[in-house]
Amino acid sequence: MCREGALHTAILRHVTDALNPLPDSPALPSHPVFTARGLSKVYHTGELDVVALNGVDIEFNSGELVVLLGPSGSGKSTLLNILGGLDVPSSGQLSYRGWDLTNVDEHTLTLFRRNCVGFVFQFYNLIPSLTARENVALITSIARDPMTPEEALDMVNLGNRMDHFPSQLSGGEQQRVAIARAIAKRPEVLLCDEPTGALDITTGITVLEAVERINRELGTLTVIITHNASMAQMADRVLNLSDGQVVKSRRNETRLPVRQLDW
């Protein structure tokens, strides 16, 4: 079987075994969730080459909450997009659970994104004509073994707002609907790109508490990119990026609850 076909089958088996384990199911691989070696991304714009990532070596492990810090242009979003299968590297290798993602076809990447990864972006991308419940149901209708929309919305404390339309919700509530939509399919990975960037501090704390709860209760590998260094203490690990490289990595001995962070 070709590599793309093998990964396609492996992802299906991984998702099936994780959600519906059987006594005789083979053990899941013990690899880190993601392993990147020499990961680089170069964008060609006319005669100019823009290096977004420059030889990144990194691993992300199951259940971790990792914060990526760095200024605009440091490579944070590019790294997140490659981890989530929204972009592909120019060179280097990226593996998911030991399975090579670097040169797979678009169909396999689609399968990977659909079954294994949830995304939360700075802007909520909700459909305005659908209620909160219906926005989440868009995902649960195509997932293999999803939560119900009600369960997902309860996890972000929106059980009493699920029949409201986005225009009837605050910015923080809309972002929590987006989080519920991302985690309703029970992904192993939650990737958050500036999830509080459009929110005030009080509302942002509420959103981050929802992310924190999902990481803690579901064991979801959670990666958050931000400019806000105050969020570093909520993480298991903090990675600083600059000029497309990881220039500093540190691990927190103790994670602080979001409300105890120094805002």
Give the alpha-carbon dihedral of 153, 79, 84, 182, to 10 degrees.
10
Q: Are 226 and 194 in contact (CB under 8 A)?
A: yes
15: confidence class by pLDDT, cuts 50, 70, 90: very low
Query: What amino acid occupies position 133?
Result: R
User: 132 phi and psi, to 5 degrees?
Assistant: -55, -45
Q: Which are the contacts of 176, defined by CB distance < 8 A and separation ≥ 6?
A: 156, 157, 158, 206, 207, 210
Q: What is the DSSP letter of 145?
A: S
- pLDDT over 50 (residue 18): no
Q: Considering only CA atoms, which of 7, 20, 93, 21 is closest in space to residue 53? A: 93
- pLDDT over 70 (residue 127): yes
Q: How many structural domains does the chain have?
A: 1
CA 124 – CA 173 distance, rounded (Å): 10
Q: Summarize the confidence of residues 210-224 as an average pLDDT.
A: 95
Q: Summarize the confidence of residues 191-206 as an average pLDDT.
A: 92
10: confidence class by pLDDT, cuts 50, 70, 90: low
| Cα angle 238, 242, 243; round to 5 | 150
Q: What is the CATH number of the domain that holds 177?
A: 3.40.50.300
Provide the domain limits for residue 122. 3-260
Q: Are 39 and 92 in contact (CB under 8 A)?
A: yes
Tokens of 114: 């659909």
Per-residue pLDDT at 260: 92
Q: Summarize the confidence of residues 49-68 as an average pLDDT.
A: 95
The span from the first CA to the last CA of the chain, in angstroms, equals: 53
Buried b (16+ CB within 10 A) or exposed e, 54-69: bebebebeeebbbbbb
User: 84 phi and psi, to 5 degrees?
Assistant: -85, 0
Local structure of 239: helix, strand or coil: strand
CA 85 – CA 113 distance, rounded (Å): 6
- pLDDT over 80 (residue 13): no
Q: What is the pLDDT of residues 143-170, one digit of tens each?
A: 888 999 999 999 999 999 999 999 999 9
Instruction: State whether the Cα torsion 45-95-120-207 is positive or negative.
Output: negative
Q: What is the pLDDT of residues 29-52, one digit of tens each?
A: 457 999 999 999 999 888 889 999
173: confidence class by pLDDT, cuts 50, 70, 90: very high
Q: Summarize the confidence of residues 225-235 as an average pLDDT.
A: 93
Per-residue pLDDT at 84: 96
Q: Which are the contacts of 141, defined by CB distance < 8 A and separation ≥ 6?
A: none
Angle between helices 3-19 and 106-116 (to 10 degrees): 10
- The percentage of the chain sitting over the pLDDT mark of 90, rounded to a whole number, equals 73
